[in-house]
Structure 1
């Protein structure tokens, strides 16, 4: 069985290609084992940069949580932290709206647990929603993505916004499993 620490280390290794990673990241009164940040800027202009047609900024904030057991209370705390701290501070940066040319901000949570995922947790993760538009979406929107992962059963549950993450999250288990098998004999290496 893969430990939460090993899984997180491997996952962060994959994220570091495109994201800035901070370990033991503190936001208000909560400390996360890791936080990953991504920003993309695109623009279109005619002949010279001064003649800009459009520009867009896209962001992703990924928070990693490790727990012995996940519960509905954990998900309630995640929702509260999104609405009370993350969205106002990291998306809007304390303002009424995000900056000009803001297109979208993804707020992603990856929840790792040693235990099994209870039916209640699976149900809550699947129905987890946060989507907020700014100025009728003229200043873009933000949305939450959430994935819960059991180290014991290697089960991955996501909400609908995070379903594209499943392949990456499953690949960590698949690659770790292949490392334990000796290629010459097909036996488990000790």
Structure 2
């Protein structure tokens, strides 16, 4: 028997917990996601004392996790729509016209755990997935979309170019879960 989506998700969330705040069963719009992870980083530069701030930057990452039987092009289109109509206005701009002052970048990410591997056209659509939005000619930063997909049946993954750094994490979890299973057997 292969890895289950529940086991994979729990191991993935354990890895994210080191740097992200995790909320399980997160509601956004009409949908409830198995988990939401939020990361925030603040960088500031001062001259002599805190009152003389030269600059500050704020960076965020918002990750929504999805478990599904399969991935098709309709799901990918729905994710892009969710990113544009729900994630970006609510999580980045928080209902305002622009993000907060000193906002540099917000990464909006989906991690999909699929029981089955999709066909080549869907893999191509995953790799081509793109979302990028600037604010005030990028003076208030920008938002960028990431899409990472894990396929449990083939123990493989696919990402868009913005999420390629997730591939080692995804494959490492497969190895980790396999080692845990071997320890229980012996």
Normalised by the shorter chain, which TM-score bucket?
over 0.9
Partner of 2:28: 27
Partner of 1:189: 185
Distance in 2 separating the partners of 1:121 and 1:149: 13
List structure 1 runs of 4+ shifted beyond 4 angstroms. Answer: none
Q: Are positions 1:16 and 2:17 aligned together?
A: yes
Deviation at 1:118, TM superposition (A): 1.7
1:7 aligns to what SS in structure 2?
helix
1:96 aligns to what SS in structure 2?
coil
Partner of 2:149: 148
Partner of 2:39: 38
> Is there any run of 5+ residues in structure 2 with no aligned partner, and where?
none
Partner of 2:101: 100
1:175 aligns to what SS in structure 2?
helix
TM-score normalised over the length of structure 1: 0.94
Deviation at 1:175, TM superposition (A): 1.0
Deviation string 1:140-187 (CA, Å, 9 cap, x unpaired) is 1100000111100011000000001111111100111222335xxxxx
1:123 aligns to what SS in structure 2?
helix
Distance in 2 separating the partners of 1:173 and 1:130: 28
Distance in 2 separating the partners of 1:110 and 1:102: 24
Deviation at 1:11, TM superposition (A): 0.3
Q: Are positions 1:86 and 2:87 aligned together?
A: yes
Deviation at 1:117, TM superposition (A): 2.1
Partner of 1:68: 69
Distance in 2 separating the partners of 1:105 and 1:9: 25
Partner of 1:173: 174
Partner of 2:162: 161
Distance in 2 separating the partners of 1:38 and 1:58: 8
Distance in 2 separating the partners of 1:116 and 1:81: 23
Partner of 2:139: 138
Deviation at 1:69, TM superposition (A): 1.1
Deviation string 1:53-101 (CA, Å, 9 cap, x unpaired) is 0000000000000011111111111011011111011101111110000
Q: Greater shift after overlay, 26-35 or 173-182?
A: 173-182
TM-score normalised over the length of structure 2: 0.96
Report how many aligned residue pairs link the two structures: 185
